[in-house]
Amino acid sequence: MPQQRRHLLSLTAVTDEELFRLVERASGYAAASAAGDPYPKPLTGRVIGTYFKKTSTRTRTAFSAAALRLGADVIAYGPADLQENTGETTEDTGRVLSRMLDGFVVRTAGPDREIAAYAAQDRMAVVNAMSEGEHPTQALADLTTIQRLAGRVDGARVLYVGEGNNSAIALALALTRFKDTALTVVTPPGYGLPEETRKLAAGYARASGSAFACTHDLAEAPAADFVYTTRWQTTGTSKADPDWRDVFEPYRVDEALMSRHPDARFLHDLPAHRGEEVAAAVLDGPASVAFDQAENKMHSAAAVLEWCVAG
Ligand code: CP
């Protein structure tokens, strides 16, 4: 009987305890790596496929490097490689690959039902490496970064500034589960978090004794330990309004904004466009931990692969 695998499609399907353990485990990998210790090899003999239909520097490399460091072999598919391009269904693709692979890391940037279709089998773990609706493994890297810097995620006060995109959605679905946290999401009008995310995050925050607020007014933002932004043009998306830049312009994270949070660290999921969502002086300045955050994508990918594939 083949071993049943766990999928990571959405953080909403992960329990609080599983989420806390993933962040702890990723932080452990980061600490061990900083001490010069190699990863253990729990995935020796396993084969992981990666399929990125949209561009990726960090997530693709993070999962590939983590899989190799954990002892697995990796098969990488590009956007033009599979017979999906000639009409094979997503379900059939998942069923076939599940007979050969132990894990499948997919970036679709399409509707969430597309990634769920690969997971309509229970032999191969499917990991959402970013879909239109959520970027769950980004949030794990974000929380790992907070844990490494603050020693814990509980109590962290985060100010998110920018579009309510898939990274922001995942952040809201993850941070609010930790005790006594505060997440303020400041978005341009018309670009807020989806209503469903707001309801879920508000419910998580009530249960964990945390604060969760959404606003369009930066002046309303309370003091933060972390200021976080993402690129104005989320990978794989476009904006209908030709004048959208005018709407986003007041939401740049610059030195003036950071001076209102003098002890805050700066987070960015990258890639960045200096001069758009963030001033170069902030991204490249002393408060920025964006490149540690990028490295933590590999450590959190290791925790995810271990949990989904090795059990
Ligand atoms: N942050 C992030 O997902 O980066 P990539 O698009 O390079 O994977």
pLDDT in single tens digits along all 311 residues of the chain: 456 689 999 999 999 999 999 999 999 999 999 999 999 999 999 999 999 999 999 999 999 999 999 999 999 999 999 999 999 999 999 999 999 999 999 999 778 899 999 999 999 999 999 999 999 999 999 999 999 999 999 999 999 999 999 999 999 999 999 999 999 999 999 999 999 999 999 999 999 999 999 999 999 899 999 999 999 987 777 888 899 999 999 999 999 999 999 999 999 999 999 999 999 999 999 999 999 999 999 999 999 999 999 98
Q: Which residues contact 241 (CB under 8 A, 6 or more apart)?
A: 190, 247
Confidence at residue 238, expressed as pLDDT on a 0 to 100 scale: 84
Distance 142 CA to ligand 1 centre (A): 12
∠ CA 125-299-274, rounded to 5°: 110
Q: Are 160 and 225 in contact, with CB atoms under 8 Å apart?
A: no
**Nearest C-alpha to atom 4 of ligand 1 is from which residue?**
58
Confidence at residue 112, expressed as pLDDT on a 0 to 100 scale: 86
Atom of ligand 1 nearest to the CA of 235: 6
Ligand 1 environment, Cβ below 6 A: 56-60, 130, 138, 235, 269-271
**Nearest C-alpha to atom 3 of ligand 1 is from which residue?**
59
Domains and CATH numbers, the chain: 11-134+296-310 (3.40.50.1370), 139-294 (3.40.50.1370)
